[in-house]
Amino acid sequence: MRTSKLKLKKLNNARDLGGLKAESGKTVKYGKLIRSGKLYNLPEKTLAYFKSLGVSAVIDLRIDTEVSEYPDTVIGGAEYIRLPLLCTATAGITRDKKMISTMNRESKRIKKEFGNADEYIKEMYRRILADEEPRATLKRFFEILLNAEGCVIWHCSGGKDRAGICAMLLEGLLGVSEENIIEDFTASQRAQRNKHFWQKIALFIVPVPHRLRTILLAMMNAKRKYITFALEYIKENFGSIEEYCKSALSLTDGQIEKLKDKYLE
């Protein structure tokens, strides 16, 4: 696996998918596909790097509350596309409260409905793949990639879950091996190690309910079992990522070939 964290100021979890090898023997082109966490308060050097790549589209997968609290820094020349990725597992998350207040309330529901944070996150992944609304969002994600002329950045808040599901599907369509898909997902754990170290300390200093602390700690993680659960769901119900995208997202063989022609070399 050749992808690595982009060393850009203010970005803790941004990666260029360039260098990932497909089973066809081709590799993903550099400077075309970037996954990331939030693009908040970016310095000029980071913006200059993105401009040098010719970023033409920024896909923001976050909900309104996240966007209002941490708005994206504008990258000159790029189209900014809001594409909130929601599912029924996150139905209690509203668009009119601060995220910490929302998660405090949600932690009660998560404990009651799912038992623990790991089961909640796995169920969130399943419903992103299974529910009608997020499937429509995922289809739109691929339509943007098919029509984009330059580099595309897609991101959520941490760059792990929603951005990770999109990356998993895209990498699978391009022919990246399952093990490298998993490795790319779990790289988010290493990329944010220092940031999470201080966040974890803060969670034990600030007086927050134990159930909320447990949920927030789990949501910092990019555990292998999260993405393998999503991959197993796809294999059990569709056979492969390609068949999932064709059946659930209505992508055609022609569109899949276009993605390969466009982003592999």
Residues 116-155: tens digit of each pLDDT: 788 888 999 999 999 999 999 999 999 999 999 999 999 9
pLDDT at 95: 43
Determine if the pTM surpasses 0.75.
yes
Residue 96: is its pLDDT beyond 50? no
pLDDT at 97: 52
Position 9 in a domain: no
Position 225 in a domain: yes
Domain of residue 170, residue span:
15-263
β-bridge partners, 145: none
pLDDT at 208: 58
Cα dist from 53 to 14, 112, 125, whole Å: 14, 46, 31
Residues 6 or more apart in contact with residue 158 via CB below 8 angstroms: 13, 37, 38, 188, 192, 219, 220
β-bridge partners, 176: 22
Read off the CATH number of the domain in which 126 is found. Answer: 3.90.190.10
Residue that has been written with the tokens 């998660």 in this structure: 103
pLDDT over 90 percentage in the chain: 66
Residue that has been written with the tokens 């790097």 in this structure: 49
Is the Cα torsion angle 222, 100, 58, 234 positive or negative in sign?
Answer: positive
Average pLDDT of 188-208?
A: 59
| Closest to 240 (Cα-Cα) out of 163, 135, 166, 168 | 168
Average pLDDT of 201-220?
A: 61
Position 42 in a domain: yes
Position 65 in a domain: yes
Type of residue found at 51: K
Position 1 in a domain: no
Mean pLDDT of the chain: 87
Position 98 in a domain: yes
Number of domains present in the structure of the chain = 1
Cα–Cα distance measured from residue 37 to residue 6, given in angstroms and rounded to the nearest whole number: 12
Instruction: Report yes or no: 118 and 231 within 8 Å, Cβ to Cβ.
Output: no
Position 4 in a domain: no
E strand or H helix that includes residue 36? strand 33-36
pLDDT tens track for 166-190:
999 999 999 999 999 999 999 998 7
Position 3 in a domain: no
